Structure 1
């Protein structure tokens, strides 16, 4: 357990980081490496901001949703200002939006965050929340229309970046079908800021940029993307997060007297609940990635597999399999929850998403575990997260083996997760509404 003096110091440092990364209305993930507003980073960061400035927390969500496209999509990057040399910038995306944005989305955590804020902050939030719910309803409907046009009950991603878990080994096989012959050369800024051993490799970036070019060439037309994008994958984390978001949107819509939104969200949630079973693997005893273009499962587990518990009620047999595997992984490493199976040859404890622990994923997993009655496992994950931060600071992610921090420093959502959940002063918030 972390002592009170260290806790107080880390609380102060976390608040300092969030204020330093504040760009007057939105928060950057970290200076230099990610100098714009990122979708799920921003929404999750609002939870931390809310612990000391309620109005500023609401502004974070309002700013993000203000960049919503006419078709309902909320983009994964909003380029509110010019940043010389950032790659890939607005010129590579060519989204045609004002302000410039990327052409893809990210996991829709915003509805869940809005519900958290509405339930935990004092006051009548109706005037502020109602416009958000209309925007969130349009975004969730975009997922149903653009990323599940056939009504299978699972939404697809058209780019690894859309998952928010950019460099998972899960993407290696689907990316092998992406032609990179026209990508050309480019200069990455990330490897000039962060150790190359902690970032995706160049051949990964070739595939990422080929998919950006594909989207740009079809002007981000959702019908063309759904029919012909070479990367079209359903994965458990995105789908579980969307299920959770729809549940929270239903609750919010009923709370703020918006029955039509509640009705639409309920219908979408039912479809997602039925479709999610397609991602279950008997071989892996967990939820796995499904390459929809080739109808092929990747029978390996990731930290996203446990988000089924966060997404909704899980049947007892599958839940028990989750608990058992989680403890089996924990015995092989020092800190939970690694982003990829530590038993697999592709596991890399410090390279981006191929093994490291991420604080916000840990919060989601712990939330799901607590809601399924496993407060002991939820507490273990919270303690591991706190120990990582106490050991290595507010890094982007951490090695589950050594506890070493990796990626960006002074990272907003790590600071936010500390203030909202991992800090000993925040533990009453482990359970959510």
Structure 2
């Protein structure tokens, strides 16, 4: 692809962010996801930071409008009404000053804040220090909530109480644990997603029944974290969530050198060490990957999914681990048009078109490439980035991609895919970008 075409595609990516802008916050895509989503907005802010640091700050500031008093940043902020999505605010029944969902999502916020701040300083943006300082405190409150509410037993692993919190809603990683959740609900389910996207690309109806049963359960707890923890029929200490939190903590440690007190710097360092220690214990050499822990059964979650590689964004592996992980990732790529699949093609659970059961997601590849670079696997990181960029250039800014054909799937004109394209296109042609961590 020539430079002019690349330039045009970059402009198209910016146009998607503009198209999905709803007044300082960005929806993932029109109709299918008509509100502000937590980790989507963090990735989008990093994309905005490439050309508009002020707008990048605004994305994070609008997200923090939905932060709860206890520090949790919800997975959805319902800034404006829409009837094209289920479950809406009336189902969640939360009592925040702005309508929100009652659960959270991967805490990419801290990672985004560091990159937005550095872009703003480079651009000489007025009030960058003040804006970063306020958002740093919001991020710190969020990280404290994670440790208090989702690791009360100090395992060094934070738990999810709903598959939606993981961001990987219907991943095979949750099949065993989710099967224990009843399909009965007190909420009438009115799915809207299959009216926008082929049902073959979305979670099954049975999955949704279990998803909404969990919402009913936690709503009945009044969204109190301690009551939810005690009542949860689904409770997974998730290595993907823990790894992202650990990496975001490392980025907050960097910002704390300027924006934090001595006590806050010590606190973040303690959080970081606790999470790294917890992650390190989840390595399984016989599998060449990390595994989550089902806190109800006490069993390892050994289903092969992208989450097994996410600890690379936070941990520095030893030589034996590094060799094993890179070989395993190479194995997952074999015979595919585009990798990294969220479930490998050799798994019985692999479905190349169904949401998180096989398709390739640009933001997952973004994080895993970061982790590979952090661990010295520069060539593999660049190949993943180049493959992701190529898939987007062939199929468009789709929500996700069929790894066996490269076909674009799910929603189109997708915000975080546009942001990922702008970031990864730059990284794929350069060395060492995006991999720094304390």
Shared fold (TM-score, shorter chain, > 0.5): yes
Q: Following superposition of structure 1 onto structure 2, how do residues 144-293 of structure 1 map, counting pairs within 5 Å?
A: 144-183=147-186, 185-293=188-296
Q: How does 1:2-81 map to 2 (within 5 A)?
A: 2-81=1-80
Q: Report the alpha carbon displacement of residue 257 of structure 1 after superposing the two structures with TM.
A: 4.5
Determine the C-alpha separation between the residues in 2 that align with 1:351 and 1:357.
10
Instruction: Say whether the 8 Å CA contact 1:395–1:406 is kept in structure 2.
Output: yes
Which of residues 139, 145, 148 is equivalent to 1:142?
145
Alpha-carbon distance in structure 1 between the residues aligned to 2:9 and 2:428: 11
Question: Are 1:419 and 2:418 an aligned pair?
Answer: no
Task: Give the whole-Å Cα distance in 2 for the aligned partners of 1:112 and 1:135.
Answer: 13
1:391 matches 2:394: yes
Q: Once the two structures are superposed, what CA deviation does each residue of 1:281-340 show, in whole Å capped at 9, x if it has no partner?
A: 233221122111111112222112222111221222222111000111111312111111
Give distance in 1, aligned partners of 2:101 and 2:325: 35
Scaled by the length of structure 2, the TM-score of the pair is: 0.95
Higher relative contact order (CA 8 A, sep 6+): 1
- Match in the other structure for 1:111: 110
Match of 2:384 in 1: 381
**Aligned partners of 2:264, 2:177: CA distance in 1, in Å?**
35
Match for residue 88 of structure 2? 89
Q: Which runs of 5+ in 2 are unaligned?
A: none
For each residue in 1:353-385, what CA deviation from the matched residue of structure 2 results, as whole angstroms up to 9, or x when unmatched? 000111111111111111211110011001100
Contact 2:172–2:305, Cα closer than 8 Å, also in 1? no
- Going from structure 1 to structure 2, the CA distance change for 1:11 and 1:426 (only over 3 Å counts) comes to farther
Q: Residues 125 and 258 (structure 1 numbering): CA distance in 2 closer, same or farther, change over 3 Å?
A: farther
1:42-95 Cα deviation digits (max 9, x unpaired): 011011112221100111111111211000000000000111252100011001
Q: 1:426 to 1:75 in 2, by over 3 A?
A: farther
Gaps of 5+ in 1: none
The 4+ residue runs of structure 1 with deviation greater than 4 A are 423-429
Q: Name the SS of the counterpart of 1:215 in structure 2.
A: helix
Q: Secondary structure at the match of 2:46?
A: helix
Q: 2 CA distance for matches of 1:422 and 1:144?
A: 35
Q: Given that residues 421 and 427 in structure 1 are in contact (C-alpha distance below 8 angstroms), is that contact kept between their aligned partners in structure 2?
A: no
The aligned counterpart of 1:99 is: 98
Distance 1:183 1:277, change over 3 A: farther
Question: For 1:304, which of 287, 304, 307 is the aligned residue?
Answer: 307
Alpha-carbon deviation of 1:412? 0.2
Quote the Cα distance in structure 2 between the aligned partners of 1:426 and 1:116. 19
- Show the 5 A alignment for 1:397-416: 397-416=400-419
Q: Which whole-Å CA distance do the structure 2 matches of 1:426 and 1:262 have between them?
A: 35
Change (3 A) 1:257 1:204: closer
Whether the 8 Å CA contact 1:421–1:430 is kept in 2: the answer is no
User: How far apart, CA to CA, are the structure 2 residues paired with 1:382 and 1:86?
Assistant: 32
